[in-house]
Amino acid sequence: MFVAWIEQMDRLTAIDVFIEVAERGSVTAAAESLRMSRAMATRYLAEVERWLGVRLLHRTTRRVSLTGPGELALQRLRHLRMVGQDLQAELGSDDPRPHGQLRVTASVSFGQLHLARAVSDYVGRYPGTRIELLMVDRIVNLVEERIDLAVRISRQIDPALIARRLAPCRSLLCAAPGYLQARGIPRHAEDLASHNCLAHHYVGRDVWKLSRDGRQVAVSVSGNITANDASLLLEAVRAGAGIAHLPAYQVNPLLESGELVRVLADHSLEPMSIHAVYTSRRQISPLLRSFVDFIAERFGGPAFAAYC
């Protein structure tokens, strides 16, 4: 009787359980996340393995890990779940507009200043959508952290990922007037070596490359503050702690007001770009495509370009 019952179990739910267990490495954690008993989660896992006819998981007393077939199944079942969710959203409503949920990540500074407003406008336009934002200043593994889209500011994107360039992103050298009054104004790129240069953990921590009239100079820099977040560096610069290179979209209003001063304005730093990054062109959902098109229009326009 139990076998007959389990064969009728919702396979989409069983897929959800398998994916959650694979990503969390724990049946108990997955069951708690999905708000079901551990025993029920175990039954769903057994259904997936029976359905596919292979062992998908190695189970120990402490952790669950994927077998070789389990790795392949995880990739395919993620895609199947996404297709099922999209189809369910489309069939469940006569509204042709985008429906469903996205998990999106970006840097803290870009998220606070620009992406949050863009997301607010998007969900306002499409009430059937939900967007979960993860703001961190580190490279997020899109697969492991179940991220649908990353907005990344970088010079180079992992070639294994799909990237759509949204806009250029210039960095500017900035300092507070008080710091420059106390320490002097750099006149040449090499002068930075004698200044307190505040660096980002992941961008130019020890060497800053500047160009002028086609000539590039690499300057070894040092300072007493480093951070993994451009917003933290900005606050240190505003407090007069030193010189930092910061995104133009972040500092332009402060330069216009005079709160900060641009340093070595006749030099340019290595250019970067803002990208929309996702895992596969073949598996892009209508919702993800819609959102990428929306932010491409938002950040590719002249209003945003004025700040980049």
Structural domain tally of the chain? 3
- pLDDT above 90: percentage of residues in the chain: 38
Question: Do 176 and 250 have their domain in common?
Answer: yes
Domain boundary among 66, 89, 112: 89
Question: Do 258 and 129 have their domain in common?
Answer: no
Structure tokens at 65: 């890990």
Question: Do 266 and 285 have their domain in common?
Answer: no
Q: What is the pLDDT of residues 258-269, one digit of tens each?
A: 999 999 999 998
Question: Do 40 and 12 have their domain in common?
Answer: yes
What's the CATH number where 238 sits?
A: 3.40.190.290
- Out of 158-162, 169-173, 203-207, the most confident range is 169-173
Question: Do 157 and 239 have their domain in common?
Answer: no
Q: What is the pLDDT of residues 76-95, one digit of tens each?
A: 887 777 666 666 655 555 56
Question: Do 155 and 14 have their domain in common?
Answer: no
Q: What confidence category does residue 2 fall into, taking pLDDT thresholds of 50, 70 and 90?
A: very low
Domain with 133 in it: 93-167+275-305
Q: What is the pLDDT of residues 177-227, one digit of tens each?
A: 999 999 999 999 999 999 999 998 877 778 999 998 888 889 999 999 999
Q: Which residues contact 168 (CB under 8 A, 6 or more apart)?
A: 271, 272, 273, 274, 305, 308
Question: Do 161 and 176 have their domain in common?
Answer: no
Question: Do 67 and 108 have their domain in common?
Answer: no
Mean pLDDT, the chain, integer: 85
What is the distance between the alpha carbons of residues 164 and 151, in angstroms, rounded to a whole number? 10
Q: What is the pLDDT of residues 130-157, one digit of tens each?
A: 999 988 877 778 877 778 899 998 888 8
Nearest CA among 237, 175, 244, 241 for reference residue 203: 244
What's the CATH number where 289 sits?
A: 3.40.190.10
Question: Do 62 and 112 have their domain in common?
Answer: no
Structural element, H or E, at residue 135: strand 129-135
Q: What confidence category does residue 104 fall into, taking pLDDT thresholds of 50, 70 and 90?
A: very high
Q: Is the Cβ–Cβ distance between 77 and 13 less than 8 Å?
A: no
Question: Do 163 and 279 have their domain in common?
Answer: yes
What is the distance between the alpha carbons of residues 254 and 143, in angstroms, rounded to a whole number? 37
- Give pLDDT, residue 85: 62
Question: Do 298 and 159 have their domain in common?
Answer: yes
Main-chain dihedrals φ then ψ at residue 93, nearest 5 degrees: -150, 145
Residues in the chain: 308
68-91 vs 38-52: helix axis angle to the nearest 10?
100
Domain boundary among 89, 119, 142: 89
What's the CATH number where 59 sits?
A: 1.10.10.10
Domain boundary among 61, 89, 117: 89
Question: Do 244 and 260 have their domain in common?
Answer: yes
Q: What is the pLDDT of residues 29-84, one digit of tens each?
A: 888 888 888 888 888 888 888 888 888 888 776 778 888 888 888 878 877 776 66
